[in-house]
Every structure is written in C-alpha cells, then in structure tokens.
Amino acid sequence: MGVVVSNFHLAKITAEEKVKLTSGKDFWTSEHLADKGIPSFRMSDGPHGLRYQALAADHLGINDSVPSTSFPTASASAAAWDPDLIQAMGKAIGLEAQSLGVDMVLGPGVNMKRNPLCGRNFEYFSEDPFLAGKLGAAWINGIQSQGIAACLKHFAANNQENDRLSSDSLVDPTALHEIYLEAFRIAVTESHPEAVMCSYNKINGTYASDNLYLMTQVLRQQFGFGGAVITDWGALNDKVAALNAGTDLEMPGDDHLFDGEALQAYQQGTLKLASLDRAVTKIAEIARKQRPKFQGSREQLLQANGQLAQKIAESAIVLLKNEAALLPLQATDTVAVIGELAKATRFQGAGSSHINASEIVSVLDGLKQKKVSFDYAAGYRLDDQDDSQATAEALALARNHDKVVFVAGLPDNYESEGFDRQNMALPKVQNDLLQAVTAVNPNVIVLLVAGAPVELPWVDQVKAVVNLSLGGERIGAAAANVLTGAVNPSGKLAESYPLKYQDVPSADVYDKKPRSVPYVESTYIGYRYYDKAKVPVAFPFGFGLSYTSFALKNIQLSSDHVTDDQPLTISLQVTNTGQVDGAEVVQVYVQEQQPRPLRPEKSLKAFKKVFVKAGQTVNVALELKAQAFKEWREQTQTWVLPEAQKAIAVGTSVTNIDAVLPVSFTGETFNNFATIPNWYTTLSGKPSVQDFEQLTDQKVPAPHEFVPGEFTRLNTPREMKKHSLLLRLVAWITVKIRTKDYIDKQGPEAKFQQAIVLDTPLIRLAQQASGALKLSMVDRLVAAANHQYVKMIFR
C-alpha cells in the first residue's frame, strides 16, 4: 500500500489555491501545488483493463491507448462467482498501472442491471447487489494491494445510458438502500476504496454531484467512506453545491471553468470553509501517497495477465444447455463452425472501457490452437444485410458435418456506453440462419457472444447453448478448452435471462420518459421479480450446467436463532456424483415465509465456489451475519431486524433449492410508506406509474418538449438544434470532427460519438472540452436557440 508523504500544511494554502485543487489539470491528472507539497496524480480507465493514453487523451474510448490486457468484462467475470479470481484481476490491473505510472484506475462499476437494454450493462456485475458488492470489493482489494487507488463507480442509481446526463432516477427509499446503494455499501465497508465516482444523473431530483444526502449522510456517515469523491467526466452540476454536498474533485480539467464562481462563493460565505478544506485534504491524501514502483518486465507481465484473463474466462463460461451430452466435442466428430463472430469474436464493449488488447484470440483461433479439425463458413454479415451466398455456404456445410458450432451474438454497434439497446433481439439475419441450420442438422451448439441477455427464439431447436458473454482477449482459447472438455464449465448466470423483453418488470417504462425515470418496480428487479411473480424465464439467476453432476447433502445450521452478536454457520457436503472433476457454486438465499409488500421471495446473501474431484465429497461452511436478515428503516436511517418469518434457502440457483431451513429472531414493526398499493405485494400484472406515485406520494413529471425561451445551459444540442440553425451547424461540425477518423460511420465508436455530442448538455460539453468551449460561447448558443442571439449582438 502507498505511504502518505509528510509536510502538508493546510493552513498555508490560499483560498485561490484550494479552489484550484478541486478541478482537474487536464483530462487525466489532478492539479498540483509543488511548493505546498501536493503533487498531481494520474488516473486512467477502466474496470476490465487499463486504458492508458500516452498522447491524445479522451474519456470515450476513442483515441489510441497503450496495449494492455483486456480481461473479461464485468458481465462475464461475474459469472465465475469467484471473488478470489476477481481479486487476482484487480491485482493484475494494479501491476499494469504501476508499470505505466498510473496512480488511480477508474473502477469497478457496481451499478445494478435494472433492465437488460442498458447499453453499459457489460461493465456491471449483476442484477443482485450482494453479488455485485462482493465482487466489487474483491476487485478493489486486489488493485489496492498493489498500492494503486480504486475509484468505485457510478454512485448512484445510474441504470440507463440514454439521457444519462440529464435523467432523474426516481427511487423509493427501500429500493434505493436495499438494491441500488447496497453494492456500494458492501464494497466501501469491505475494501475501503480511495475514491468513489459520482454519476451524471439526478437521484430524486438532485444531481449526484450536488446530493448532500448521498455524498455525506449515506456515503461518508453511514458507510464510513474516508476517501475522495470524484465526478464522472463532466458530471459536475454546480461547483459550490457539489463541494458543500461532499464532492471533492471535478474531472476532467476544464481550464478551471467554474473556479471563479467558487472563489466568489467562498468569499461571500456560501461555499463553506469546512467543505473546501475537506475536499483539499481528500485530494492531497491521494496525491501525496508514495505509490510502489514497478519491478520487472512489462512484456512478461502482459503475458502472465493474458493467461489470467483466459483462466477467468474459462471459469465464467456458462453452459446453459447440453442435450444428449452433445458437449464436449469428441475427436471423431466432424465439426462445422458457422458465424462471422467466430472469426471476428467480440470480447469487450465500446466506450470509455475500450481496451487496446495486447492479444486477441478469436473462436476460430482458439479451435486452431486446440488442434480441433473443423470447416468454417461465415453464414451471416455483421452489418445485418442479407447474403444469400453466405447462407447457402453455411447450410451446405451444416448438412455434411456431425455437429455445428454456431457463434451468435450482438455486433459492436448494438451495445455501448452512451446509448441503450432498442430491443433484446439478436440480429434477424442470425436468428433466421440459425433456424435454417437446425432444420438441416439437429446437432447444433450455439456460442453466445454478448454483454447482456438476448432473446433466444430458437432455444428449443438447438441441443447446446454456451454463454461466452464478452470474455476478454483470450475468449477464443477459453471457449475451445470448454468445447473440447479440457475445461469443465462452472460458470453461473449473474443475471436472469428472460424469455422475452416484455417479461421484464420495467419494460413498459424503461426509456419511455428518459428525463424523469420512475423505478416503478421498486425492489423487484431481476430474479426478485421473476421468482415471486412466477414469471418463467429462459434461464434463471445462478444457473449453469457442468459436464459432471453434484449433490448437496447434510445441510445444517449452527443455530436457528439470529442475533446481532452471533453469526449463523451453514454447513453442508458437496459431492461430485459424476465422472469429471468440476466446480459447483453453493448459493444461500434468505427466503420470506409469508408474502410481504416490497419483499422478494428470495435474496442472495452468501455463496461459495467449490472444486470437487469426481466421486469425492467436500465439506463446506458459509457464514451469515444478522445483516443478511435486516431491512432498511427510512424513518431512523438504520438497518433493523423486521417482525417477519424468514428462512435460509440453500441450492445451486435461485430456482434449484435443496433445503429450506427456518430461522427465528426478535424483530420490529415498521413501515416506510403511508400507503402501499397491492401490486407491491401480489405482483399481479405490471407495475404502473400510478402505483409508484401512490407508493412514494410524489408526482412523476410528464415528458416536456422545450421550446425557444426555455433553453438553458443544461439543454442538449439534440433538443436545441431544431430551433437554431447555428446549433445545427455546430452539432454537425462537432460530430464530423469527432468521427472523422472512422471508416465505419455506423460502427460503435462513431455511433457513441454522435450520441455524446447530441445528448450531452451544452455546459457538460464545455466541461469536457478542456477549455476549448468557453462559457461565453455556451451562452451565445443558448441565446441562439432561444431566438435571442440578435439581441445579444446589439447590446
């Protein structure tokens, strides 16, 4: 760990210097005061690998970065259900950061997967806060063990990409604390990150950067966070309000755009001295740590980290279906491989976490390395255009081979930071071809390559499905090892796979009012909804098959009574009843014995991945503290044991439970709401905005189309350009400049850039422009949209 340098005297720093320190110097570094003993510190993206930019810097995954290891994205690595592996990833990224002189890595992301269409879901671990929190804590402990700071993100309730810089997440207090803040609570209390990144969005009417309740009362006082709060790049709303609320550092460097008004506010007494001193102190603590110097060969490090990336991918691959033991492949099988994604295999998402991978192994590459004999046909195009010749070649190949490995998934431009998916479907050309292939060959194995769930209309027609997710730079090698049986799959889904998008509880409201976002389903996201509502899914949370079989036996509790000072121990035996060595994940849920409002039927509270040799038995023990049974009490801002009947459910997925063991405790009666509509108990049908309004006693604002006279700095070019020729011209030029280097104008990077330019409020664009866009220019553009530009000229 880093050591804090001495000789720092806060009293010797002037007010001007203090304010200066609270804004970044440039895109990746903080300001410094050399004569006051405060150096700058260097930050870099990202959660599943280091995106270090030595030259032109940006936060958007656009400009080139130094080659680094591209680990499986969070959506993939979470399926390993293995904190030790995630901690090893954090440690490896920390060593790469050391090798490039990076002080802080921006990650991990522990936001909830509220809806499968969120374009950034590939960067987040799970729909479950306990799993996400535990994995996030492991990643942070790994990277900070190497003396590199982690920046936990995005705090909080950042669950969509469309209008993410303007949206208002309207969340009831039970859902806010038990679902959307819980992963942050776990990560902060168990790993103590040096920094937390505030999100772009509002939460219940207040921007995250200005949110005194979240930044101070919750994060610092309730969670005990002792580090610095850093804004997402361009997420600062009001510098004075942000500092007073608990935000410390504005990023990126914006030529100190707001320092003047902050200094004036300090002189007038509206910016509190205590707030400014807190921010300076937190920034200085990070900057003044002596970080370890890298010892060794970066080339050897990348090689070792590539091997670790493959190991994580192998542990995270989920076998979803395997009829008639079609897998693993046999040496005598004749194999046809179909799919453009087999050759150009996606292994990461687009946006700020985009890594310049040091090595890329496609599915075809992996099969060749494994010396698997196969014939290949692309079959479909990634631009979604029909290709009759490619289809014919694929069908001819499928007819003449024993087994077909069909690689299906989402092309690059389907999911990215900056925009949400439009639906949950795979490209039509892939679905059509896959169904045609199953008509000529029943032995089809589908490899899924996507960062989030997709609809599987052909799932009953294929015999095997393997979920690769976005498995990092060596995903092809990992896939080949699983397909051939060199590795026994042990991954488990960290999110539910709905049968169809309309089954998702938030489907009727998600992205319908992107600026005012009522979380109408409250606590019922993911399996918490499907399980209690008895809505069937394609594959449930926690599910995953193996090439062997397991039995859970002799499941017992150390006590059936819960107290604050005595954890419960669940003991059991896991037996490998098959013929192949493998690993099983024991999952422990707290289960409601009687239906209660806002209470899921089950909630994950413990898990352990256990390796067991064929025919052998392993003893397993898991611990549950009283916190596992507690619920949020809004009136007292505390967690308390409720007056309720609960049990411990032990199994291998949320729907495959081997034992339910009742527990008792002395609880309190309380209610966070004056009125609770019936839906939040019965889950009959879908939740409505009216249900949410009745639950929270607040009115959800109707969608509003801005007109000239209403525009401010917080409006976007997309909203303003239809009323202003000048805005149209500026937006067009900016998009052209940002996408000029892209040959594929429909690719994910170009699409991401277009969304960033058109959907970022003007003042945020100025913040991200490093001084190139002045406040006076912003005000002129706003005036033009308000049809007031001529008046400004002649004043």
Cβ atoms of 279 and 38 within 8 Å: the answer is no
Report how far residue 1's alpha carbon sits from residue 384's, in angstroms, rounded to the nearest whole number.
50
Catalytic hit among 82, 103, 232, 511? 232
- Contacts of 36 by beta carbon, 8 Å cutoff, 6+ apart: 8, 9, 12, 13, 17
Report cis status (omega within 30 of 0) of the bond before 540: no
Cβ atoms of 443 and 327 within 8 Å: the answer is no
Considering the entire predicted model, what is its pTM? Answer: 0.94
Q: What angle do CA 390, 392, 398 make, to 5 degrees?
A: 105
Q: What is the pLDDT of residues 286-318, one digit of tens each?
A: 999 999 999 999 999 999 999 999 999 999 999
Distances (CA, A) of 657 to 39, 446, 627: 55, 28, 22
State yes or no: pLDDT of 616 exceeds 80: yes
Report how far residue 755's alpha carbon sits from residue 134's, in angstroms, rounded to the nearest whole number.
33
Q: Quick one: pLDDT at residue 733?
A: 77
State yes or no: pLDDT of 58 exceeds 70: no
Q: What is the DSSP letter of 530?
A: H
Based on the residue annotation, tell me whether 232 is a catalytic residue of this protein. yes
Cβ atoms of 37 and 285 within 8 Å: the answer is no
Q: What is the DSSP letter of 467?
A: E
Mean pLDDT of the chain: 93
Q: What is the DSSP letter of 566?
A: B
Q: Quick one: pLDDT at residue 462?
A: 98
Confidence at 639, pLDDT banded by 50, 70, 90: very high
Q: Quick one: pLDDT at residue 114?
A: 97
Q: Quick one: pLDDT at residue 795?
A: 40
What are the start-end ranges of the E strands in 500-579?
Answer: 516-518, 537-539, 550-557, 568-576
Q: Quick one: pLDDT at residue 475?
A: 98
- Contacts of 366 by beta carbon, 8 Å cutoff, 6+ apart: 474, 475, 476, 477, 478, 479, 480, 481
Burial of 616 (0-12, 13-18, 19+ CB in 10 A): exposed
Cβ atoms of 312 and 89 within 8 Å: the answer is yes
Report how far residue 360's alpha carbon sits from residue 356's, in angstroms, rounded to the nearest whole number.
10
Q: What is the DSSP letter of 550?
A: E
Q: 10 Å Cβ neighbour count for 592?
A: 17
Within this chain, domains 306-533 and 548-668 share the same CATH topology: no
Q: Which residues does residue 585 pair with via DSSP β-bridges, in sequence order?
A: 609
Q: Going by DSSP bridges, is the β-strand pair 228-231/195-198 parallel, antiparallel, or unpaired?
A: parallel
Q: What is the pLDDT of residues 423-456, one digit of tens each?
A: 999 999 999 999 999 999 999 999 999 999 999 9
Three-class secondary structure of residue 663 per DSSP: strand
Cβ atoms of 321 and 116 within 8 Å: the answer is no
Q: Which residues does residue 445 pair with via DSSP β-bridges, in sequence order?
A: 405, 464
Report how far residue 645's alpha carbon sits from residue 151's, in angstroms, rounded to the nearest whole number.
39
Report how far residue 60's alpha carbon sits from residue 768's, in angstroms, rounded to the nearest whole number.
11
Report how far residue 417's alpha carbon sits from residue 137's, in angstroms, rounded to the nearest whole number.
23
Report cis status (omega within 30 of 0) of the bond before 11: no
Report how far residue 562's alpha carbon sits from residue 206's, in angstroms, rounded to the nearest whole number.
38
- Contacts of 308 by beta carbon, 8 Å cutoff, 6+ apart: 69, 71, 88, 89, 92
Q: 10 Å Cβ neighbour count for 619?
A: 10
CATH superfamily entry for domain 548-668: Immunoglobulins (2.60.40.10)
Cβ atoms of 550 and 574 within 8 Å: the answer is yes
Q: What is the pLDDT of residues 450-504, one digit of tens each?
A: 999 999 999 999 999 999 999 999 999 999 999 999 999 999 999 999 999 999 9
Cβ atoms of 518 and 700 within 8 Å: the answer is yes
CATH of domain 306-533: 3.40.50.1700
Distances (CA, A) of 643 to 113, 667, 710, 780: 30, 4, 50, 60
Q: Quick one: pLDDT at residue 758?
A: 81
Q: What is the pLDDT of residues 746-791, one digit of tens each?
A: 666 677 777 777 888 888 888 877 666 777 888 888 888 888 754 4
Q: Above pLDDT 70, what percent of the chain?
A: 95
Starting at the edge strand found earlier in the chain, the sheet holding 335-338 runs 318-322, 464-467, 444-449, 403-409, 335-338, 374-377
Q: In the chain, where are the structural domains located?
A: 306-533, 548-668, 717-793
Report how far residue 209's alpha carbon sits from residue 468's, in angstroms, rounded to the nearest whole number.
36
Q: Going by DSSP bridges, is the β-strand pair 374-377/335-338 parallel, antiparallel, or unpaired?
A: parallel
